[in-house]
Amino acid sequence: MHVDQELVRKIAHLARISVSEEDVKHLETELSQIMDWVEQLSEVNTDGVQPLTSVVEATLRQRQDEVTDGGYPEDIVKNAPSSEDNFFVVPKVVE
């Protein structure tokens, strides 16, 4: 895939980075080479290859979903600058 100078400018705009005009030509070449390499990856035969997230077989340990602490809302809000009915009171930020 060939990346032209217009596409380089568009990518830079979308990425919110400034690219000088002298760097556009250089990036055109580099991005074209990167896209050619990515296209080469599509030529690799991956039939029969299972998708994986790690090269090491691992499973996550799971625990029971149970409440282990709480039941004291007064203690939680006692250091708050302002509270009401055991809730934090914060300044209004949206009109």
SS3 content of the chain, % helix, strand, coil (to 5): 40, 5, 60
pTM, rounded to two decimals? 0.49
Residue range 15-35, pLDDT digits in tens: 999 999 999 999 999 999 999
User: Which pLDDT score, from 0 to 100, does residue 14 have?
Assistant: 95
With the C-alpha atoms ordered 61, 65, 71, 76, is the resulting torsion angle positive or negative? positive
User: Which pLDDT score, from 0 to 100, does residue 95 have?
Assistant: 74
Residue range 45-94, pLDDT digits in tens: 989 888 888 888 888 889 888 877 778 889 999 999 999 999 999 988 88
Domain 5-41 has CATH 1.10.3470: no
